[in-house]
Structure 1
């Protein structure tokens, strides 16, 4: 009964994933490379793939144990809950960081063309009024734990002379080229275990 319900859903999800991936690849061949960065579904899925896979593996065990035809012992429940806790410890920090970064940058657009010396940030469709000379310093925070699901989550904070700060997260794009572009400014580089803003 359970397999007759879940199997078509799993097959449909796999077919949809393959079709969307192929469509993205084909359109990428003919598309003009853009210098405008924003939170896209493809970027979010690239960051969330392994955390969601781990979370799905952990949560899939519970229905199998709870709805099994044979009674489950206390030891099996302890193993199930331990496995679920383990997968939550693996994927939970990445999911929290993703949610936090999405709240910060879901309506942010970054226009970055280093060849033309163009660097603009838009929030909610409005250009944030600053020039490169208005930047006092740059804070670049990267993750120390390279083999974790949250290793690719990092951020860059632009501190302006007037006291404002603008935070750009890895949800928009890879931030290292931007940090290289701003290398003439005083830069505070920090390495953190968990890059919470």
Structure 2
């Protein structure tokens, strides 16, 4: 009974995933490379794929055990809850970072094209008034836990002379090209195991 219910859902999810991936690939062939970065669904899915997969694997065990035929022993419940806790420990930090970064940058737009010396940040459609010469220093924070689900979550903080701080997270784009572009500004590089802002 369980397989007759979950199998069509799994097949539909795989079909949708393949169709969306193929559509993205085809449109990527004919689209012009953009220099405007936002927290798009594709970027979020790229960051969240493994954490959500781990979370789904952990949570899928509970219905399988609960709806199984026959009684479930205490040992089986212990294994089930242990596996769920393990997957939450693996995926939970990445999900928390993603939520935090989304809260910081969901209305942020970054216009960045180094060949034209263009670097602009917009919040809710309004350009933040600063120039490159207004930057006092740049703080670049990367993740040291390279083999974790949250390894791709990092951020860049722009400290302006007037005291303002602009935070750009990896939810927008890869930040290393931007850090290279701003290399003339004093840069402080830090490595953390969990890049909470």
TM-score w.r.t. structure 2 length? 0.99
Mapped to 2, the partners of 1:139 and 1:119 lie a distance apart of 17
Gaps of at least 5 residues in structure 1 are none
Other structure's SS at 2:60 match: helix
Partner of 1:103: 103
The answer on 1:195 being equivalent to 2:192 is no
The answer on 1:72 being equivalent to 2:79 is no
Mapped to 1, the partners of 2:185 and 2:45 lie a distance apart of 33
The answer on 1:141 being equivalent to 2:161 is no
Assess if the C-alpha contact under 8 Å between 2:2 and 2:64 holds in 1. no
Mapped to 1, the partners of 2:12 and 2:58 lie a distance apart of 21
The answer on 1:162 being equivalent to 2:162 is yes
The structural deviation recorded for 1:46 is 0.5
Mapped to 2, the partners of 1:120 and 1:78 lie a distance apart of 53
RMSD across aligned positions (CA): 0.6
The structural deviation recorded for 1:5 is 2.0
The structural deviation recorded for 1:178 is 0.2
Aligned residue pairs total 197
The structural deviation recorded for 1:57 is 0.4
TM-score w.r.t. structure 1 length? 0.99
Partner of 2:182: 182
The structural deviation recorded for 1:4 is 2.0
